[in-house]
Amino acid sequence: MGVTLSRNFGSDNVTPACAPVMAAINAANAGSAGSYGADEFTERLTAVAREVFETDLAIYPVATGTAANSLALSQLAPAFGGIYCHESAHIVTDECGAPEFFTGGAKLLGLPSPDGKIRPAQLEAAIAFATEMGVHHVKPAALSLTQSTEWGTVYSLEELSALTATAKKHGLPIHMDGARFANALVRLGCSPAAATWKSGIDVLSLGATKNGALCAEAVVFFDPALAENFERRRKRAGHLWSKFRYLSCQLLAYLQDGVWLDNARQANAMAARLAQGLAKIGGARPVQPVDANEIFVALPENLVSALERAGFHFYRWPLCSISDGVAIRLVTSYATTAADVDDFLRAAQQFDC
């Protein structure tokens, strides 16, 4: 049975595409256009992305975040390489081995931390270990970090720069999984350039689907020289759509006129409202700081079950190690309204005992 959108806090993927993206698809749906990316939308997208990120980048739209991450990493790491990432990274837990498949077997080396962020000292120690092990260990090849993280936290620019500097010191290129990059960006309140290449990021998986696109993500290389032969990787992976305009026009609408920022601001504001409200629920305990649009909170089992019975949808999050109660994840999106949040909070107050 479907869940009403207003009661669905399961993910930011449960939303419809936003109006500007749908309007752009409709507008693109006329006349002929060059195929396989030789169209005016793709050309304009490159120009707009260069403007937005203030650099001479190369951008490659694909249809899913898994493709963006896996293809980006396959460009950075050889089959005998090691990719440092957080142990809870989407590439580790949720991509069915696609990064390993597309890299031809590179090893994902998950580093632990309670909040989804990798610390420079951890990376340093892991690289030192690899160096000591020599030929017996995979060769340190890349760092992949997620912004905002899988735990809803956001690296500050200082944290980002310290981490990427450590990776660069050892010659590792840096990939950012930006499935929720816009949410991090509005949280940081800085320019897209400052949040990426000026902070040491070489390749970004730019997410758009969770934040209002129908199905569009992109691999962005801030140094186009790093993208050599990437077009062939994308084609080989089946992500070079013949009617490519439908992919590019979504990203164009997303990046133009601040749509991505407006959408992310709404999602983050609703998460903050929800977190503030939850703080007043006696049985609720925050599990993570709420920096973007995901909330991890521990609630008593009877409250969680009552909310589920009332038709609210969210995920129980067994990865949280809490001693009592149930940890759940609530996600807000551009489509979440203040009324949706207040409705949830009213129900939580009512069932709290």
Ligand X SMILES: Cc1ncc(COP(=O)(O)O)c(C=O)c1O
Q: Which residues bind ligand X (CB under 6 A)?
A: 64-66, 69, 90, 146, 150, 177, 179, 209
**Of 179 and 348, CB closest to ligand X:** 179
What burial letters (b/e) apply to 325-350, b meaning 16+ CB within 10 Å?
A: bbbbbbbbbbbbeeebbeebbebbee
To ligand X, the closest distance from the beta carbon of 180 in angstroms equals: 7
**How many residues are listed for the chain in this entry?**
353
**Of 207 and 283, CB closest to ligand X:** 207
To ligand X, the closest distance from the beta carbon of 284 in angstroms equals: 24
To ligand X, the closest distance from the beta carbon of 90 in angstroms equals: 3
Q: DSSP letter string over 7-52?
A: GB-S-TTSSPPPHHHHHHHHHHSSS---STT-SHHHHHHHHHHHHH
To ligand X, the closest distance from the beta carbon of 155 in angstroms equals: 13
**Of 45 and 179, CB closest to ligand X:** 179
148 touches 154 (CB < 8 A): yes
What is the number of other CB atoms lying within 10 angstroms of the CB of residue 51? 12
To ligand X, the closest distance from the beta carbon of 210 in angstroms equals: 7
* In 256-296, alpha helices (H): 259-278
Instruction: For residue 180, give the amino acid letter.
Output: R
**Of 100 and 177, CB closest to ligand X:** 177
Which residues touch 169 (CB under 8 Å, ≥6 apart)? none
Distances (CA, A) of 268 to 161, 182, 294, 303: 23, 10, 8, 24
**Of 66 and 333, CB closest to ligand X:** 66
Which residues touch 125 (CB under 8 Å, ≥6 apart)? none
Q: Which residue has the tokens 């009213």?
A: 346
To ligand X, the closest distance from the beta carbon of 91 in angstroms equals: 7
**Of 11 and 337, CB closest to ligand X:** 11
To ligand X, the closest distance from the beta carbon of 179 in angstroms equals: 3
To ligand X, the closest distance from the beta carbon of 132 in angstroms equals: 31
**Of 179 and 327, CB closest to ligand X:** 179
**Of 5 and 281, CB closest to ligand X:** 5
Task: Output the residue with the shortest Cβ distance to ligand X.
Answer: 65
Structural tokens at position 291: 């920096």
**Of 45 and 63, CB closest to ligand X:** 63
What burial letters (b/e) apply to 239-258, b meaning 16+ CB within 10 Å?
A: bbbeebbbbbbbbbbbbbee
To ligand X, the closest distance from the beta carbon of 208 in angstroms equals: 10
Cα 1–Cα 294–Cα 318 angle in degrees, nearest 5: 70
Sheet holding 315-316, edge to edge: 285-286, 294-299, 326-331, 315-316
CA-CA distance, 149 to 117, in Å (whole number)? 7
